[in-house]
Structure formats: C-alpha cells, structure tokens
Amino acid sequence: MSFIHKSIGEGGDNAGVKAHGAGTRLVRAGFIPLLDSAVLIAAAELGLAEREGIQLDLIRDVSWANIRDRLAFRQFDVAHMLAPMPVASMLSIGTNPSPVLAPFSLGRGGNAITLSVKLYRQMQAAANLAGTEDALTNAVALRGVIDAGRSRNEPPLVLGMTYPYSSHNYELRYWLAAGGIDPDRDVKLVVVPPPMTSDALAAGEIDGFCVGAPWNMIAVERGVGRIVAVKGDIWPSSPEKIIGVRPEWASANTDTLSRLVVVLDRAAEWCHLQSNRRELAKMLSVPRYVDTPADLLHRVLLGQFTIDPIGTERMVPEYFSFHGGDANCPRTELAQWIYSQMVRWGQVAHSPENLERAAAAFRPDIYRTALGLPANAGPAAAQVADRFIDGVTFDPSDIPAYLRSFSLPINK
C-alpha cells in the first residue's frame, strides 16, 4: 500500500471522498468538544486544509461511542478518537468494533484526575495533606480513605472515565494501582461522557473522574472538584488522541489522507507555539467547538490552572504538547503499551498474534511517508521507557515480564 503526498491536481483517490468544487475534496471529521481537538479545528479555521485542496467538515459529537459508530457507519471519513480505540478495534473487542487505523497523533497531554472536594478533604484529614502533594502521594492518601470506608461497610467510591478503551481508563487505573488501590475491587468505575463529568460530580453521582480538558478545570471553577493528578504525572509520553480512519477509506483515498496528514502536521506546529495559544483559545471557545470561556481555555493551554476552589495554583509547562518530540507520530510501541494495559486489566488475553494485531493499529509508515520522513525518523523506541509514576519501565519486547512486575491486579 502506498501513501504518497502528491501536489494538488494529481490523481490518487478512488471512491470514498466526495469532490467539492474544483480540485477540492470534502472530508467529514467527527470530534468531541475537548481541547485536544484543537489541531483539527485549527486545520479548518486557519485555512490550512483548504490550501491543500481539502474542505474539512467538522461535526461535533457528544460521546466516544457515537464517534466510533458514526465512523464505522461512514457518516465520518476521519475522526478525533481516543488512542486506544484503534487498538481495541484491531483486536475485535468492545461493542460493534470496526477496524480503525491511526495515521496521526494529535499530541500529548490534557488529561487530569479530579476528585470531589468532600473526598479530597477526607484525604487531607486522614493523611495530613498540605494541598501541594504529588500525584503518587495523593493516590496513597486515597487508599487510606478507601480502607477506612471499607471498615465501616460503606459502599465503594464511584469514579468516572470516558470509555472502557481510553487513555483515561488506563491512566486512572494506573494511578490507583500505583497507590495500592485495585480498580476492580476497591472502587467502582463507570463511563461518563466528558461534557457531563462536572455535572455528575456536582450531583454526587460520582466521587471523581479522569477526563480531558477543560472539564477538570470547569469542576474546579464550579467549586465541586479538586485536581489530584495530571496525565504527565502518570506517564509523560502517554498518547492521548489520534485521527482514526477506516482501512478501506485509507486505501481508497491515499492522496487525500496524505494531504490531510500534511495539513494536521502544520496545524499541530501552529497550535504548539505559545505565542498562538491566546488566538487558539478564542478559536476553540465558540459554541460550535468547545463552548467554554476563552480566558479559561487560554490558561489551560498554557498549563496554568487552579487545582482547587480555594485558589491553589499549579503550572505544568507541557500540559499540552501538540507538536515536536515525535508527538504526532503514531509509534508502534505506544500501541503496544496500550495493549499491555488491556491485558493487565483483563480486557484481552495475551498472545503473540494479539500483540501483532494491536501494533498494526498505529501506522507510523503512513505518517512518515506523507511528510517525506525516513522510515526510522523520530526518537528511538527506548524513549517510550521514560518516567512512569511508579518507576516501572515498559519493555514492549516482553509483555508478560512487564505485567509480572506489578503487584496489582491480584489473581487475574
């Protein structure tokens, strides 16, 4: 299969993309109103897609299940998706799975774990927290509250995440387990769509959640939430969102896909510049996109945000990393880590065949060919073994040994 970037006017596409105007291709793209949809939105709003002969039709949706289904049912050509979704699709796990490839990563960062103010105050009282502790200390403190509640026969805490096959689910589980909490025995995990998380927390339906920006910050602004960890605390290189495409669409539209990768790379580079973040915040703030005040979005994009209702501030310089450092390359070893977490938490059995299928979901070859990069461009695979919250190193060459290094889960 060849994915070569041609100049406008050359052939290369077959069926699947509608012609729209002279030399223009219409590409329908679904997205969820989160800040990590920024690259897609910038590609359309800055005219970058148009200059490559693409009319990018952005369609807002409310849940990842909808995104998955509408891509499968050909209502979308491409979609803003959770990084684990293509891996799950290639393993045929989950509801109505349909094969999906990831030719482009939309960057890193953006997630956080937020607990209710009431729960955090219990943690402070039990562990004598000052309010500035690191993510691991907060996880250990939460374990103390959970243990105390169990001794009083209280129901388990309910924590929300956005989708079973999501970075949010695996990051929340990883954080809990690092603190000695079994996500399947000590708490109850439920799915809550991102825009509904702060409402669910305010209503007392959940005790905390892991979700992308800006919903953690909105919970803090409403006085109902306290941020206890961000994505970079758990694993800085963790992939977040990707562009998902159906394999048959990719095959039938090689030229359009190649152009789209070029467009997204340019948009990601623009979004990454700090000098553009205020303009980006204004662009995203409008009702048809994220529908959140631009001032709040700007602070979040800069990594400057308030983590609790009393005004405690935290600065995370790389809270969003849209470009650079191989942030946009869907590297195979990232898909392998996602697969390892699916095995760890009982979503799929490990086998060499499953590992191969999972790795095939991420397509660095499409990405590099579109941008004219050599096959081995980017950081060495060893860089995936950077700092995890618990100090464990990921080795994609021996998944079983990697999983045996964890004390949790037990008897799975």
What's the half-sphere exposure (Cβ side, CA atoms, 13 Å) at 254?
13
* pLDDT averaged over every residue in the chain: 90
Confidence at 7, pLDDT banded by 50, 70, 90: very low
Determine the Cα–Cα distance for residues 390 and 172; give it in Å rounded to an integer: 13
Closest CA to 105 of 241, 245, 272, 262: 241
* Distance from C-alpha of 275 to C-alpha of 162, rounded to nearest angstrom: 31
pLDDT at 16: 42
Domains 18-108+239-291+322-404 and 111-237 equal at CATH topology level: yes
Count of CB atoms situated within 10 Å of the CB of 266: 19
Q: How much is the pLDDT for 8?
A: 28
Rounded to two decimals, the pTM is 0.91
pLDDT tens profile 32-88: 999 999 999 999 999 999 999 999 999 999 889 999 999 999 999 999 999 999 999
Q: Which two tokens stand for residue 215?
A: 């919903």
pLDDT per residue over 329-387, tens digit each? Answer: 999 999 999 999 999 999 999 999 999 999 999 999 999 999 999 887 665 444 444 68
pLDDT for the residue numbered 352: 95
Q: Where are the domains of the chain?
A: 18-108+239-291+322-404, 111-237
What is the Cβ-side half-sphere exposure of residue 349, based on CA atoms within 13 angstroms? 2
What is the distance between the alpha carbons of residues 316 and 108, in angstroms, rounded to a whole number? 13
Q: Residue with structure tokens 């374990």?
A: 143
The CATH H-level (homologous superfamily) assignment of domain 18-108+239-291+322-404 is Periplasmic binding protein-like II (3.40.190.10)
In sequence order, which residues have a C-beta less than 8 Å from that of residue 375 and are 6 or more positions away?
Answer: 365, 368
CATH number of 111-237: 3.40.190.10
SS3 289: coil
Residue 355: enclosing H or E segment and its boundaries? Answer: helix 352-359
Distance separating the N- and C-terminal Cα atoms of the chain: 40
Angle, alpha carbons 195-197-200 (nearest 5°): 125
35: nearest Cα among 213, 193, 162: 213
The pLDDT > 90 percentage for the chain reads 82
Is the pLDDT confidence value at 13 over 90? no
Contacts of 361 (CB under 8 A, 6+ apart): 86, 87, 89, 90, 100, 101, 102, 335
Q: How far apart are CA 360 and CA 330, in angstroms?
A: 11
pLDDT tens, residue by residue, 293-343: 999 999 999 999 899 999 999 999 889 999 988 899 999 999 999 999 999
CB 76 within 8 A of CB 29: yes
- Angstrom CA distances, 303 to 110, 164, 232, 273, 356, stand at 9, 27, 11, 13, 36
Cis amide prior to 214 (ω within 30 degrees): yes
